[in-house]
Structure formats: structure tokens, C-alpha cells
Structure 1
Amino acid sequence: MRYFLGWSRKKIASGLLVTSVLFVGACSSGEVGSNGGSSGSGSNSGQVIRIAIGTQDQVINTAVGGATVRELELLEKHLPTDGKYEGVRYEIEWSSYTSGPPITNKMLANQLDIGLMGDFPAVINLIKFQQEAKDANSVFVGTLAYSPTGAGNAVVVPKDSTATSLADLKGGTVSVPFGSAAHGMLLNALADAGLDPETDVELISQAPEVGGASLRTGQIDAHADFVPFGELFPFRGFARKIFDGAQTGVPTLHGIVVRTDFAEEHPEIVVAYLKAILEANQMFREDPEGISAQIQEWSGVDKEVVYMFLGPSGLQPLNPTIGEVQVNSLKNSIATLTKLGRLDNPVDPAEVTNWIDESYLLQAMEEMGLDYDEVVATAEGYQISGEDALTGEAITDPKQAAQFWVQGEETVRSFASIGNMVKALVELQAEGQAANVMFVHDHNNGWKLFAENSYFVSNGDQVAAFLIEADAQTYAASNGGQITAFRGLQDLYAARLPLLAGAQR
């Protein structure tokens, strides 16, 4: 028996405890669950329990629940060792994939017990288990990271492309990993832009690494992808973002699906895995630069891109809960796939609530002494704060703040405004140093942006950043400001501060 969303949190948490004890009692007399002590019989000695987890190492939304848990051995730390688990040997099998659909195939074949994937692949996973599997279903047990607006998915073009909007792609070739969260975003976005995905563009399926190579060689006009490639490819200098998933205003997420037969037989292991994720989330918030650097080693994704997504005021909060926004993300995925004819058998989006079970997460929080509402508040309140690295003033508005990461330094420097950041950067360069990356936020929407790939409007000391050129033009027309690229902004500030390298020291 499972308890789903809609039940009180107290009932859900206690329900798992009761279910676990009843299950253990039915399986073996004389043993109790992992929360209730040891049987002392040692009868499980030699028993092997497989825990097979499919992750996506290069997908930064899964990096904390995947590579971080794996490499820091956090799951091993939380696995039960008493009661029915006394004397057992755990065989943890990790495998990484480029997208969610292969993970679903492995789960259906009972080769994976737990899968980490985006919203569109997750609902396909849930639906396929309902419609095709004979021996088990799958259940959505928690979120890894999410965006309430859809930030993270993106469409990029080659660096020297003249395209500035999706409308400019008419008649062109666009690649995307079919069946991914980005695929769903692209189909929606093209339709919103007045383009028919079947006739106005040629859609081809390419994994991220293939799409990146195709962008470099000019074999495609655009590539749509999920976290982190819409930021990673521009950061590496061969692509430019023309559409952000946040422009859809439709929430997106990556989360955790589990085979129900595994969850029902080993609820304590599912709880242990979620405890490992809760600990990994906390470790990241305590040392975002350090964990970002480690994730770079484990995944090959540049630490600056990891930090952009998951650091303070990042694009994707590490909120493990399944709230209304997360549920709506899954419902919308079903509705979109149905509307576009991508499901063989239509499914009522409301069905998704029957495939969600937050009880394992609630039990994990209870065992770790965590309060549900505080976990949510901590994740959502993880914003840029502290003092301006140039002036010492308090940073009171994270969405007006800016940051840069100096080459060779372990921590990011934060500033209360874009102007202060640029002044500090000019000083830094005058001293012969350089920054790996500069971060700003979209003036209208608060999205975190790479400064070098943004449009700016300056009017005296007032500077605003924008992802979309048209937004910058509208803002400039309203306040009389000047539109410039980041390089031009630096030159403007350098001209105002001719004595930086000398007299001001």
C-alpha cells in the first residue's frame, strides 16, 4: 500500500513506517525493519542486494543526486545495516546516460532500479510502466532540481549565426535529443513562434555531444537541449543562445523514478538514497565552488557552468520536494505530449498524481531531523548575499547582483550591482589578472546570465542586463540608455577610470 500526494505529511510519514514493518514481518518472522533493531540471527549473511542507479553525469540537474552521491559514497553512508539488512552485502551499480529514454528502457528490463531524468522522460517512464510492464510500475519519489519557469532548456545557434529568434530558423535544420525534456520544450516553443515542427523546420535527433559537434562544423542551424548544454556550449565559445526555456513560463524539472517492486521490497533503501541526496544538497550549498569543481572532474562540465545552475541565485534550485509546481511540470509534460500526438495511448494529465509518492522523502527528512517547510525555504532562499566585494555595502537585491570568478581563486566574488562588478573587473585587469566568468541577471526576469553573452543598457551608473536583444531595445527606448555588449561596457568603465592602474592604488 502506498500513500500519495493529497494525504497529510504526517500520515504519509507514519504510513511508510507501518508499511515497512508489516512487510518485514510478512517476509521473515523474528526480524523487524531497519528502524526497529536487530534480529541477531545473522541469517542474512551472504545475501546480496543489488541497487542499480541510472544517472546522467553531464546533466547538471542530476549531478548532485548522481555523481556527488556516487563519488562521495553518500549512499553507502546511509544504507541500513540492521534488522532485515543485518549481514547483507550491497552491490551498488551506477551507470550514466546522455538522456532519459535509455534509462527507462533499462528500468523496464529490470536492469535499473532507480532512474534520474527530466520531466518529459519521467512521464513517459511512468506511462510506459503502466501500459507495458507486467511485473511492476514506476513511481516518482522526489525532485533533484527544477525551474518554475522552464530555465535550463534552451536553443542555441552557431556563434556566427545571424539568427536571433526561433522565427529565423524557418527552413533550417534543428537537432534535439528526441524524447528529452528539451524536445518537449522545442515543440512547444516552435508552435508558440508560429512554426510547424513538421513542415517549417527539419528536426533531427542528436545527443548533446553530437549536437555540439554539428554546431561547431555548421552542419545544423540550431540545437535544442536540456541542462547544461544551453549554457555550456556558449560558455565554451562556439554557440550563442537565442531562446531560453524560461521564455515559455512552463515549469521543468529533473527527478527520481523508482521501480515499485524495488521500492516495496526495500523501502529503507529508497529512504537511504533520498537521505544521501538531502546531504549532498546541503554540502553543495555550504561549498558551491568546491563541489562545482569536483563535479567538473566527475562529469567534464566546466565548474562555472555547474555553479551557474546550482549556485546561489542559480537557474535550478536544489529543492527535493514534490510541490504544486513540480506536479504541474509533470502534468504539463503529459498534456504537451498528448497534444502533439507523441503518446500512442492518450493519458489524462491528472493521472500523474497517482504515480507520485513523497512518503520516502518525508521519512528521510524525519530520520535526519529535518523539517519539510524548512527544507523548501532553504532551497528557495539560496540567493546571493553578503557584502559587495568592491564597496563593502550589503547585497540586498540578489537579482540586481553580479559576480565573477577570478582565475586561480577558490571562491566567487559578489557585487551589489553590475556597475560595481564591472568597475572591479577593470581594476582586476589593470593588475594583470583575469576572471574565468562573469554572471549577471536578466533585468526583466531575474534569470542568471553569462555577462559575455548578454545585452546591456547603460545610462550613467545604471546598468541593466538582458538575454534577449529585443528586450534590451525596448528598455533602452524607455529610459534613453545605450545598448552595448559586455566588451563595450568594460571599455566604457575603463574610459571613466583612467587612473585605475596607478593613482587609485
Structure 2
Amino acid sequence: MPPPIPTKLPSRVLPSTAAVGTFGTFGPSGALRVLCAILVLVTFGACKRSGGSAEGGGSNEAPQQSIRISFGVQDSTISCATGGILVRELGLLDKYLPKTGRYANTRYQIEWKSFTSGPPITTDMVAGKIDIGLMGDFPSVANADAFKAAGKRSVYTAVIAGSVDGGGNAILVPADSPVESLSDLKGKQISVPFGSSAHGTLLRAVRELGWDPEKDITLVSQSPEVGGTSLRTHKIDAHADFVPYTELFPFRKYARKIYDGSSAHVPTSVGVVITSDFAERHPEIVVAYLRATFEADRLFTDDPEKYSELVQKVSGVEAEVVYMFQGPAGIQRRDYSLKPEFRKGLETAVATFAQLKKTVSVDVNTFVDDRYVRQAAKESGLDYDAHLADYAPLPITAPDAATGRPITDPKLAAQIWVKDEPKVRAYATIGAAFTALSELASSGKTARATYVHDRNTGLKLLADFAYYVRGEGSEIAAFLLKKDAETWSRAHKGAAPARFDDVRGKSVAVAK
């Protein structure tokens, strides 16, 4: 049986031993600080603020205030890892929480609550149970709309990870299904977690085919866990989902991807949404949290294999899948900057709601607020504007494991994670990687996972499920879709598309 994915992580309350943090741009006026100080001295309490409570001290003790910081995260949605699991498990937030000025002698009550999708996080945020939430673009827009309906407001403050091309959402079919593309699903039943970013991707993909989603397909709402079971037991024709299920189900061998969000080139992201009340009252804490996510990102970049293993331990999502999304040349880029494409993704989500005949009253320009992430970058010594202009994927820095030469074109490259080896091996060509697989088999070793990249888009693929074309000479090109492989073959006078088991045994010798 595949390892289970937890549906909810129990809340945790952790006392803070934070280092000093600073923030001046949005802090209260000097007069208000003086007033708060006077009230503290008179009442032996702290100024009461939302998200926290004041605790009085004894006559010989300094007054102490207690501030609750409640996070709604998605542990199994591994795009959130550097904003959730790593920050929590490594205790990174404590390093940055402010402890001077109005935060002197503050006791922080930190709560972490994990969900499998964004909508329930929004429910708890509107109810005042969560201050900071991590969710995709589609749920984020729904969050803003729900807050407005309640006479409140939330703000989108930063990105944790995303893809300007839309990678991360996909449509899957059972592994042995004859379906090769979305166009084969007309009249079929497709399930999707309603209200998720995958829901939006599916609707846009259907519209691009000229179909009416209410007539040409039957949509069923299913959670990722139920959708996975439906695929495995052939109770559904197809299932649309988001990170990590788009690769997790194929990795577990019971599903196959036939459509990736990158095909539509609609940006997608997972971002940080905060109740405006909390952000306005505690901007220093918001900045502290964002700085903690920056450190988590740096740690993951330096050792993706190690932290992929940590994410697996906590979330139940295999490290091989985590690495596929978050490692070098991964499906999504860990990116804190609010790029124009990610803003566009939010605007597209607003338009997609209209397709559902649901009007959302969300102005993306006022919903997105980059002041906090800019301040966090400044305090961390990072150039925010330079990062905003940087679109390069995390590079494959390891040299070719066979030749020692640098890898210059990720679209041609391949990687193998060998069992019992701490680092993923990189190869400049697919042919070299397939030769290495044969050598591994001869020496009694096995591969945990083998990765290749779509020749057209650069999308990272599980080698087992790609289509391959041997072109002129020794080049082997990989593709997600059979039709793309056929098109490339005709253009390059290549052989007919073949699957993994048919190609790997005919791999070329490694160039010396």
C-alpha cells in the first residue's frame, strides 16, 4: 500500500526564543508607542491587539504580552514547503521574530494547522482562527472575495513557489487508460478538487477546446485522496489536481499525466495571504515570517536532496516527487517575488470564476501588497528588484556524472537518484543516463527515480511515463505528449515515438 498522506496536522503551540528583528516603515506612530508604554506601566498589561492577548505581571515582574500567530499551511502541497514544513520543523521563525521596542518581553504562541487545500484555510481565516495562510492563486482570489463578503480584508503579500508557464496543475488518467490527450475525454467524467487551482486549470483547458464544461464533460468534486483512489480503481475517467498529486500518482504507478498546466501558459503560484488586520497591527511579524521563508529557500537550494527527505518525513510525499518539483530545473521555481505573471495568474483566476457563473469582487491591484516582502528582502540583504527580474530556473550545477563536463542545456539533460546515494546524479544527455541505468542494473543497484525534460517546454518528467524519439545521430528527445513526440519526429527525421522500456535498452554509449 502507498504511504498515506495526512489530511490535517494537529495544531502546535510553540514558545518563541526569537532573535531581534527590526521594522520601521509601517510601525505605529511615536505617540501611540508612548501611549502604549503609559498604559503598560499603569495597568501592568500590554496593549491588547487582535491575534493576541495581554498578560499582567506581578508587582516585581515586567509586564508581558502574548501574541498568537496562527498559520494555515498545506504540508502535502509541497510547493508550500519553504513557507510551512521547513520554517516549522527547523524553528526558523524564532530567529527573526521581534523582541525589542513594543515587542519587548513578548510571549509568542505559534500555531500550525495543515490542510490539503486552500478553501478550509480561508474558512478559518475569516473566522479569526488563522492569521497567515498559504494557498494557490484560485483559492487566494476566493479568499479575498470571502473576506470582502464578511466586511473584512485580506492581502496577498508574497509568493512561495510557482511557475510563470503554469507547471504544477495537471490532468491524469488511470495508468492503463487508452486516453492520450484531453480531447479524448469529451463526454467523460472528470473529478477535481472544486475551488482549487487545478479546477481553474481544467476549466480553462476545456474552454480552449471549445467545449462547454456543463455539457461536454461531467465534473465531479473529489479531494486529492479520493481522486487518487478513483484513478487507482478506475471509478473515474480522469482527475485534475495540483502539486504534488500530478506527479505523486504517476510515481506510485497508478496514473498517467495527459495534460500539464504549462501547456496553457497560464501562470500559477502558491502565495502568502494574511488577514489585513494582523498585517497592519504586526507588520514586523509578517516581515519576520517572510525572512524565515527566505532562509528555508536558501537551505533547500544548498541541499535539495536532504530537505526533500525532510519534507517526505513530515508530509508523506515521497522525496523523489518533492525533488522533482523543488530541485534543480524543477517543475516549479521557489520564488518570493510578486512577478507580473503571478499577478496575471490571480487576474486569470478572477476571470475563471466568471466561467463558473460566480462573480467575485476582487481588485488584484489592491489585494496584492508587496511592501512586506520588499522590507523583508531589505532586512535580509537581498535585492528584491533583481530577483523580480530573474526568471532563470534553479540550475543543474552538478557536472555530468559520466564525463565531468558542465551541463549546459537542461532540456537535453537527465538525472538519476540512485538508491542509497545522498546526491542525485546528473547527465548531459538522456542517452548517457540510460546507459548509466544499464550499468546500475549490472552492478545490482537500483534507481529511486529517473528524470528527463520535455524537449519543447523543459518540463521535468518522470522518465517512466515520457515518450521518446531517437533523432538523427544519437540524440534522444523526451516529451510529455505523444502528439508532440510525433511532430518533433517528423521535423527531425526521427524514429517513431517509443516508451521508456523500449528506448532504454537501445541507449548509446557515453561520450568520453
Instruction: Compute the TM-score of the two structures, normalised by the length of structure 2.
Output: 0.88
Q: Distance in 2 between matches of 1:218 and 1:26?
A: 66
Please say which of residues 471-480 and 312-321 is displaced more in the overlay. Answer: 471-480
For the Cα contact (< 8 Å) 1:45–1:86, is it kept in 2?
no
List, as ranges, runs of 4+ consecutive aligned residues in structure 1 with deviation greater than 3 Å.
41-46, 373-381
- Residue matched to 1:476: 489
For the Cα contact (< 8 Å) 1:138–1:257, is it kept in 2?
yes
SS in 2 for 1:298: helix
- Counterpart of 2:74 in structure 1: which amino acid? Q
* 1:133 paired to 2:133: no
Please say which of residues 401-410 and 193-202 is displaced more in the overlay. Answer: 193-202
Structure 1 segment 174-185 matched on structure 2, within 5 A: 174-185=190-201
Structure 1 segment 175-254 matched on structure 2, within 5 A: 175-254=191-270
For the Cα contact (< 8 Å) 2:413–2:429, is it kept in 1?
yes
Tell me by how many angstroms 1:381 deviates. Answer: 4.6
* 1:55 paired to 2:73: yes
Q: Distance in 2 between matches of 1:83 and 1:233?
A: 50
Tell me by how many angstroms 1:25 deviates. Answer: 2.2
Match of residue 322, structure 2, among 288, 295, 306: 306
* 1:384 paired to 2:396: yes
For the Cα contact (< 8 Å) 1:319–1:380, is it kept in 2?
no
Q: Distance in 2 between matches of 1:27 and 1:326?
A: 41
Match of residue 398, structure 1, among 397, 403, 410: 410
Q: Distance in 2 between matches of 1:379 and 1:74?
A: 26
Structure 1 segment 390-429 matched on structure 2, within 5 A: 390-429=402-441
Match of residue 442, structure 1, among 430, 433, 454: 454
Q: 1:314 to 1:268 in 2, by over 3 A?
A: same
* 1:25 paired to 2:37: no
Structure 1 segment 144-155 matched on structure 2, within 5 A: 144-155=160-171
Tell me by how many angstroms 1:46 deviates. Answer: 3.5
For the Cα contact (< 8 Å) 1:157–1:241, is it kept in 2?
yes
- Counterpart of 2:442 in structure 1: which amino acid? A
For the Cα contact (< 8 Å) 2:33–2:102, is it kept in 1?
no
Structure 1 segment 6-17 matched on structure 2, within 5 A: 17=24
Q: Output one character per residue of 1:167-189: Cα deviation in whole Å (capped at 9) or x when no partner.
A: 22122211100000000111111
- Counterpart of 1:287 in structure 2: which amino acid? D
- Counterpart of 2:370 in structure 1: which amino acid? E
Q: Distance in 2 between matches of 1:313 and 1:413?
A: 13
Tell me by how many angstroms 1:263 deviates. Answer: 0.8
- Residue matched to 1:503: none
SS in 2 for 1:306: helix
- Counterpart of 2:244 in structure 1: which amino acid? P
Structure 1 segment 294-333 matched on structure 2, within 5 A: 294-333=310-349
Tell me by how many angstroms 1:27 deviates. Answer: 5.6
Tell me by how many angstroms 1:340 deviates. Answer: 3.3
- Residue matched to 1:489: 503
For the Cα contact (< 8 Å) 1:42–1:86, is it kept in 2?
no
Q: Distance in 2 between matches of 1:300 and 1:64?
A: 16
- Residue matched to 2:51: none
- Counterpart of 1:458 in structure 2: which amino acid? R
Tell me by how many angstroms 1:230 deviates. Answer: 0.8
Tell me by how many angstroms 1:193 deviates. Answer: 2.0
- Counterpart of 1:45 in structure 2: which amino acid? P
Q: Distance in 1 between matches of 2:383 and 2:150?
A: 36
Q: Distance in 1 between matches of 2:356 and 2:221?
A: 17
Which residues of structure 1 form unaligned runs of 5+?
Answer: 1-15, 32-40, 501-505
Match of residue 442, structure 2, among 410, 423, 430: 430
Which residues of structure 2 form unaligned runs of 5+?
Answer: 1-22, 41-58
- Residue matched to 1:361: 373
Q: 1:293 to 1:241 in 2, by over 3 A?
A: same
Match of residue 466, structure 1, among 479, 485, 488: 479
- Counterpart of 1:284 in structure 2: which amino acid? F
Q: Output one character per residue of 1:19-51: Cα deviation in whole Å (capped at 9) or x when no partner.
A: 3142752761479xxxxxxxxx99873421110
Structure 1 segment 284-299 matched on structure 2, within 5 A: 284-299=300-315
Q: Distance in 2 between matches of 1:26 and 1:161?
A: 69
Q: Distance in 1 between matches of 2:299 and 2:385?
A: 19
- Residue matched to 1:117: 135
- Counterpart of 1:17 in structure 2: which amino acid? G
Percent same amino acid among aligned pairs? 48
- Residue matched to 2:84: 66
Tell me by how many angstroms 1:126 deviates. Answer: 1.0
Tell me by how many angstroms 1:87 deviates. Answer: 1.3
Q: 1:415 to 1:442 in 2, by over 3 A?
A: same
Q: Output one character per residue of 1:324-355: Cα deviation in whole Å (capped at 9) or x when no partner.
A: 11111111111121243133xx546xx21111
Q: Distance in 2 between matches of 1:439 and 1:478?
A: 24
Tell me by how many angstroms 1:194 deviates. Answer: 2.9
- Residue matched to 1:9: none
Q: 1:192 to 1:301 in 2, by over 3 A?
A: same
For the Cα contact (< 8 Å) 2:300–2:307, is it kept in 1?
yes
Q: Distance in 1 between matches of 2:388 and 2:464?
A: 32
Tell me by how many angstroms 1:323 deviates. Answer: 1.7
Q: Distance in 2 between matches of 1:205 and 1:169?
A: 17
More helix by share: 1
For the Cα contact (< 8 Å) 1:44–1:85, is it kept in 2?
no
Q: Distance in 1 between matches of 2:156 and 2:35?
A: 25
Q: Distance in 2 between matches of 1:420 and 1:105?
A: 50
Q: Distance in 1 between matches of 2:146 and 2:163?
A: 25
For the Cα contact (< 8 Å) 2:338–2:388, is it kept in 1?
no
* 1:370 paired to 2:382: yes
Structure 1 segment 260-299 matched on structure 2, within 5 A: 260-299=276-315
- Residue matched to 1:90: 108
Match of residue 173, structure 1, among 167, 185, 189: 189
For the Cα contact (< 8 Å) 1:143–1:322, is it kept in 2?
yes
For the Cα contact (< 8 Å) 2:330–2:393, is it kept in 1?
no
Q: Distance in 1 between matches of 2:206 and 2:476?
A: 32
- Counterpart of 1:22 in structure 2: which amino acid? S
